[in-house]
């Protein structure tokens, strides 16, 4: 556990059990020992073929723990409740979940269900997100906010207004000044009194990667001048009472509570000014930004770490609003936050398998030195003699120079056609041996993993965001190697060679045979699923939902969905799998004489459309070989 810093980034949800496997504690510190879930057992249950009681789902696999989601949500609410109570704040906290962080139906439905007791709502940033938020909140608390952010057209605004007709608490947050005209026009047409918010462009700037859109020159929100114009226009239309919410978002992963308090304080001043100008202000919405400590370092100068926890965050927010409103004698507003990352990051784990690793060079004994040397041209033979002499003298540096020279000469000769492939292979073995013997060889192995970085960890590729990656078993055995991970895509960026703690390789165990070594990517529940691409047409992973239960393994798989099939991902690119199959079936009729062979081939092809694009376990028994193709 110490080697992978699991206690630092994983507590209170992840630990190592007596079997050396990762165990999941769905209720955090409140989990009782018999409620801990052995992650390896979950993976086995999900992936083993049906015959042994498993579900036969192909890897990669996303394991979701709804109880972890519930725990995060409840802890966030309790942190604010505690701050409100201890500071004598005279209103309440009422958060929303920004669905952009993970729009999975069951994640959003769970959050609405778990949060209905404390009026937890949703935030949408586009029309489809608004549609899903509206339908999910039909089962939520009647008071839950539905915050409508993002750029809007007439249809988006109409949808939000229809929401109010349906007794959903939609708030249209103006992201651009022009949206106000549409809100006024559409609300008249639909005869609905809108509730309006505005997003302010604060001067407070968050200097990390995620804050690049904050500050006066930031991409989003209204400037002070625009805010004043909005207020004036609403007043002219007799609608100033509709303006009830002030929103800002200075970026994700706010590194310190000092910066947070600075931003919230500035927004609270704006809030008080809007009250002074006559708006019926009720809510201050502080956006997202509640951070996750991905490497457990509690450092303030990196994008992957933050120096505070939920309680410090809530205390800083409540204190900043209370202080400003107190000085201006303004009633305390409802505090809303749009925390996404902090709610969903921990609840899912991506499991993938290392299927092979780069090989050690074959032993020198396999090399017939005499045969090798005889096949060399004169200069290369001289390099070889010099190399041998340097080796006898024990001059490592000189050995490496001659080995390099020899290799270059041999490659040139191969290109000219004067050296055979056996000799070229032999020179590789010899040079590898020299590197090793002189201590110059690269000890880092490449582990090939059954995964697409572009699909499942897009932030690593796109913004170099690091996530903890750890073997989920064998943690009671010292790893024998260090490695980087190379994915299935044909892209040179499809590799993971940076890890938390500033490491450029990961301690890994030796592989025994093909596959069976499982790694987990943790804390990736936010953003990764929605942003993943289809490089090489690798689609989404299989998914299981795992709840704590009283059964023999203390868990139950309550939902299991295989990942996208080849047919599914082809459809994303406008191909029509049914037509493709028909074309191939006609070719079979045309070119395969034997009827039985033809039928078997057609069956094999059809099933390939239904299988996942990832490597199948035990690929030698594939249906195409069964058809004697």
d(CA 390, CA 164): 85
- Out of 341, 407, 409, 535, point to the residue binding ligand PLP (CB under 6 A): 341
Distance of CA 365 to the CA centre of its chain: 47
Q: b or e along 276-309 (b: 16 or more beta carbons within 10 Å of the residue's beta carbon)?
A: ebebebbbbbbbbbbbbbbbbbeeeebbbbbbbb
Q: Applying CB under 6 A, does 98 fall inside the site for ligand PLP? A: yes
Q: Yes or no: say if 555 and 42 are a contact pair by the CB < 8 Å rule.
A: yes
Residue among 221 and 375 whose Cβ is closer to ligand PLP: 221
Q: Applying CB under 6 A, does 339 fall inside the site for ligand PLP? A: yes
Catalytic annotation present for 490 = yes
* Least distance between ligand PLP and beta carbon 528 (Å): 12
d(CA 157, CA 185): 10
Question: For residue 173, what are the β-bridge partners?
Answer: 197
d(CA 22, CA 472): 5
Segment contacting ligand PLP by CB under 6 A, of 238-246, 337-345, 397-405, 586-594: 337-345
Residue among 285 and 383 whose Cβ is closer to ligand PLP: 285
Task: State the catalytic residue, choosing from 101, 399, 410, 490.
Answer: 490
d(CA 76, CA 342): 9
Residue among 218 and 562 whose Cβ is closer to ligand PLP: 218
Q: Output the six-digit token pair for 314.
A: 């809530």
Residue among 147 and 410 whose Cβ is closer to ligand PLP: 147
Number of residues engaging ligand PLP in binding (CB under 6 A): 15
Residue among 70 and 341 whose Cβ is closer to ligand PLP: 341
d(CA 508, CA 480): 6
d(CA 537, CA 436): 39
Q: Applying CB under 6 A, does 71 fall inside the site for ligand PLP? A: no
Residue among 119 and 206 whose Cβ is closer to ligand PLP: 206
Q: Applying CB under 6 A, does 495 fall inside the site for ligand PLP? A: no
Q: Applying CB under 6 A, does 257 fall inside the site for ligand PLP? A: no
Q: List the 196-199 sheet strands across, edge first.
A: 96-98, 121-124, 145-148, 169-174, 196-199, 243-247, 283-285, 334-336
Question: For residue 26, what are the β-bridge partners?
Answer: none
Residue among 226 and 339 whose Cβ is closer to ligand PLP: 339
Interactions with ligand PLP, residue window 259-298 (CB under 6 A)? 287-290
- Out of 104, 262, 266, 338, point to the residue binding ligand PLP (CB under 6 A): 338
* Least distance between ligand PLP and beta carbon 275 (Å): 23
* Least distance between ligand PLP and beta carbon 125 (Å): 7
Give the residue nearest to ligand PLP (CB). 288
Q: Applying CB under 6 A, does 577 fall inside the site for ligand PLP? A: no
Q: Residue 337: which of 288, 380, 299, 386 has the closest Cα?
A: 288
Interactions with ligand PLP, residue window 504-563 (CB under 6 A)? 526
- Per-residue x/- mask for ligand PLP, residues 131 to 150, rule CB under 6 A? ------------------x-
Q: Applying CB under 6 A, does 79 fall inside the site for ligand PLP? A: no
Q: Yes or no: say if 561 and 505 are a contact pair by the CB < 8 Å rule.
A: no
d(CA 528, CA 508): 24
d(CA 325, CA 89): 10
- Per-residue x/- mask for ligand PLP, residues 305 to 324, rule CB under 6 A? --------------------
Q: Residue 555: which of 68, 103, 4 has the closest Cα?
A: 68
Indicate which residues carry an active-site annotation.
490
Residues that bind ligand PLP (CB under 6 A): 98, 101, 149, 249, 252, 287-290, 338-342, 526
């Amino acid at each position: 556990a110490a080697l992978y810093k699991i206690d630092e980034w994983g507590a209170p949800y992840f630990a190592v059990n007596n079997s050396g496997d990762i165990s999941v504690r769905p209720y955090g510190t409140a989990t009782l020992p018999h409620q801990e879930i052995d992650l390896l057992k979950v993976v086995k249950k999900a992936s083993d073929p049906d015959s042994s009681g498993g579900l036969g789902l192909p890897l990669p696999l996303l394991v979701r723990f709804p109880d972890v989601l519930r725990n995060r949500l409840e802890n966030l609410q309790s942190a604010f409740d505690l701050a409100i109570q201890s500071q004598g704040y005279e209103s309440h906290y009422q958060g929303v979940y920004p669905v952009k962080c993970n729009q999975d139906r069951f994640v959003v439905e769970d959050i609405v269900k778990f949060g209905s007791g404390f009026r937890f709502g949703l935030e949408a940033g586009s029309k489809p997100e608004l549609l899903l938020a509206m339908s999910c909140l039909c089962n939520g608390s009647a008071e839950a906010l539905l915050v409508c952010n993002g750029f809007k057209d007439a249809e988006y605004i109409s949808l939000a207004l229809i929401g109010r007709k349906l007794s959903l608490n939609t708030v249209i947050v103006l992201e651009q000044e022009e949206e106000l005209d549409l809100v006024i026009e559409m609300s008249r047409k639909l005869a609905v009194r809108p509730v309006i918010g505005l997003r302010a462009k604060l001067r407070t700037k968050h200097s990390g990667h995620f804050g690049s859109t904050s500050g006066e020159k930031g991409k989003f929100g209204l400037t002070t001048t625009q805010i004043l114009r909005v207020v004036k226009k609403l007043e002219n239309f007799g609608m100033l009472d509709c303006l009830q919410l002030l929103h800002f978002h200075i970026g994700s992963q706010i590194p310190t509570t000092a910066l947070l308090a600075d931003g919230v304080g500035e927004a609270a001043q704006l809030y008080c000014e809007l009250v002074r100008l006559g708006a019926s202000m009720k809510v201050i919405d502080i956006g997202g930004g509640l951070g996750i400590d991905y490497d457990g370092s509690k450092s303030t100068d990196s994008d992957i770490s933050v120096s505070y926890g939920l309680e410090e965050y809530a205390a800083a927010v409540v204190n900043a609003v209370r202080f400003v409103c107190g000085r201006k004698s303004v009633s305390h507003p409802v505090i809303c936050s749009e925390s996404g990352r902090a709610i969903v990051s921990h609840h899912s784990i991506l499991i993938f398998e290392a299927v092979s690793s780069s090989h050690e060079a074959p032993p020198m004994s396999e090399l017939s030195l005499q045969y090798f040397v005889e096949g060399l041209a004169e200069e290369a033979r001289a390099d070889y003699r010099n190399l041998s002499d340097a080796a006898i003298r024990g001059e490592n540096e000189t050995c490496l120079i001659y080995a390099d020279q020899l290799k270059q000469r041999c490659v040139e000769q191969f290109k000219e056609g004067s050296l055979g492939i056996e000799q070229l292979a032999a020179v590789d073995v010899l040079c590898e041996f020299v590197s090793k013997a002189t201590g110059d060889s690269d000890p880092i192995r490449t582990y090939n993993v059954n995964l697409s970085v572009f699909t499942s960890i897009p932030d690593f590729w796109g913004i170099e965001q690091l996530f903890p990656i750890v073997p989920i078993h064998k943690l009671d055995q010292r790893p024998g190697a260090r490695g980087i991970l190379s994915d299935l895509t044909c892209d040179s960026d499809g590799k993971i060679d940076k890890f938390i703690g500033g490491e450029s390789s990961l301690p890994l165990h030796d592989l025994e045979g093909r596959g069976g070594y499982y790694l987990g990517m943790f804390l990736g529940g936010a953003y990764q699923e929605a942003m993943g691409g289809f490089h090489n047409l690798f689609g989404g992973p299989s998914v299981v939902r795992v709840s704590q239960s009283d059964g023999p393994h203390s868990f139950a798989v309550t939902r299991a969905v295989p990942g996208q099939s080849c047919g599914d991902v082809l459809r994303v690119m406008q191909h029509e799998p049914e037509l493709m199959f028909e074309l191939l079936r006609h070719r079979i009729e045309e070119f395969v004489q034997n009827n039985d062979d033809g039928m078997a081939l057609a069956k094999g092809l059809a099933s390939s459309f239904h299988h996942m694009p990832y490597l199948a376990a035990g690929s030698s028994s594939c249906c195409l070989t069964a058809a004697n193709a």
